[in-house]
């Protein structure tokens, strides 16, 4: 990936999100992830505003509904000019294939390249107890993540969102070209918060992660640009 550290732009308003981005020098283009909080508050206008400033957008809405609804939603997302977007692998093969169809159709209608479609395997906030007791899925979190990645690949997705703890097993099972983007990244100097399956940037790079999603360690840092650059340096393996 050209920009392996994706900043989760988790803010409640367009103003706060753009003020955050204003701290980055004009020539420093970044990839930002717009999730539910910001998109529900600011809608497609925030996507367009961020792209207009020269940044790439990862629209993380984690679609999970009946296939027809997901296909229609993805058709709209495909028209927005985003680079990446997400769907829940737990929706199953028919829904995932519909997501891909809708995304490609939407992008084609605007003459845009189709965004990379990433399937959520197991959220990085899920632990063994949540998997076995709440979700009633037997086995390990890693086995479940690999299984969902297999379903996603067979359904036409381009890659998955997983913990860096599972990205090696997913690449071993599905090949290195199948993208594995990893949130739940915590440098040694940051708090885990609600994340359960975490890794440092350097360890995630060694494990084969294709890109890191990092939110609070950057957005809540005293100096967000310095935190971003420190994580990039750690990713590059210069120090842990
Ligand atoms: O499994 C997942 C899927 C998505 N996320 C998203 O990534 C960021 C992480 O933010 P932090 O502040 O670095 O914890 C956030 O937007 C999540 O919605 C994830 O964490 N895990």
> Which CATH number belongs to the domain containing residue 83 in this structure?
3.20.20.70
Does the pTM exceed 0.95? yes
At a CB cut-off of 8 Å and minimum separation 6, what does 54 contact? 26, 29
Could you read off the pLDDT of 177-187 as tens digits, one per residue? 999 999 999 99
How confident is residue 150, by pLDDT bands cut at 50, 70 and 90?
Answer: very high
100 carries an active-site annotation: no
Could you read off the pLDDT of 225-240 as tens digits, one per residue? 999 999 999 998 844 4
| Residue 51 structural domain | 5-236
CA 131, distance to chain mean position in Å, is: 21
Residue with tokens 């732009």: 9
Note the pLDDT of residue 240.
45
Give the residue numbers of the binding site for substrate: 10, 33, 60-69, 124, 186, 195, 215-216
Tally of domains in the chain? 1
Ligand 1 centroid to 72 CA: how many Å?
A: 25
Best mutation site among 34, 196, 213 for ligand 1, i.e. most ligand atoms within 8 A of its Cβ? 213
Give, using CA atoms, the residue closest to atom 13 of ligand 1.
215
Q: CA-CA distance, 21 to 65, in Å (whole number)?
A: 32
Contacts of the segment 196-200: beta carbons below 8 A, 24+ positions apart: 196/124, 196/125, 196/126, 196/127, 197/124, 197/126, 197/127, 197/141, 197/163, 197/164, 197/165, 197/166, 198/124, 198/163, 199/163, 199/164, 199/165, 200/234, 200/240
Ligand 1 centroid to 234 CA: how many Å?
A: 19
**What is the separation, in whole angstroms, between the first and last Cα of the chain?**
20
Could you read off the pLDDT of 98-112 as tens digits, one per residue? 999 999 999 999 999
At a CB cut-off of 8 Å and minimum separation 6, what does 127 contact? 141, 196, 197
> Pocket residues for ligand 1 (CB within 6 Å)?
8, 10, 33, 35, 120, 123-124, 161, 183-184, 193, 195, 213-216
What ipTM is given for this predicted complex? 0.99
Ligand 1 centroid to 155 CA: how many Å?
A: 24
Ligand 1 centroid to 211 CA: how many Å?
A: 13
Average per-residue pLDDT for the chain: 97
Note the pLDDT of residue 40.
98
What's the mean pLDDT in 199-204? 97
CB atoms within 10 A of CB 228: 21
């Amino acid at each position: 990936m050209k920009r392996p550290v994706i900043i989760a732009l988790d803010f409640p308003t367009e103003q706060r999100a753009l003020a955050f981005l204003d701290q980055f020098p004009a020539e420093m283009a970044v990839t930002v992830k717009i999730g539910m909080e910001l998109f529900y508050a600011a809608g497609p206008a925030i996507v367009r505003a961020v792209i207009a400033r020269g940044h790439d957008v990862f629209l993380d809405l984690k679609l999970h509904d009946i296939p027809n609804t997901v296909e229609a939603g993805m058709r709209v997302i495909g028209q927005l000019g985003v680079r990446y977007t997400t769907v829940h692998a737990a929706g199953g093969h028919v829904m995932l294939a519909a997501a891909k169809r809708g995304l490609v159709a939407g992008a084609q209608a605007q003459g845009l390249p189709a965004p990379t479609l990433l399937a959520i395997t197991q959220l990085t906030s899920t632990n063994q107890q949540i998997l076995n007791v709440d979700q009633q899925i037997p086995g390990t979190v890693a086995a479940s993540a690999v299984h969902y990645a297999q379903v996603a690949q067979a359904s036409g997705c381009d890659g998955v969102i997983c913990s860096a703890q599972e990205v090696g097993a997913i690449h071993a099972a599905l090949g290195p070209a199948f993208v594995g983007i990893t949130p739940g990244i915590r440098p040694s100097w940051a708090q885990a918060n609600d994340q359960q399956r975490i890794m440092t940037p350097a360890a995630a790079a060694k494990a084969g992660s294709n890109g890191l999603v990092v939110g609070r360690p950057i957005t809540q840092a005293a100096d967000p640009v310095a935190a971003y650059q420190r994580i990039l340096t750690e990713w590059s393996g210069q120090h842990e």
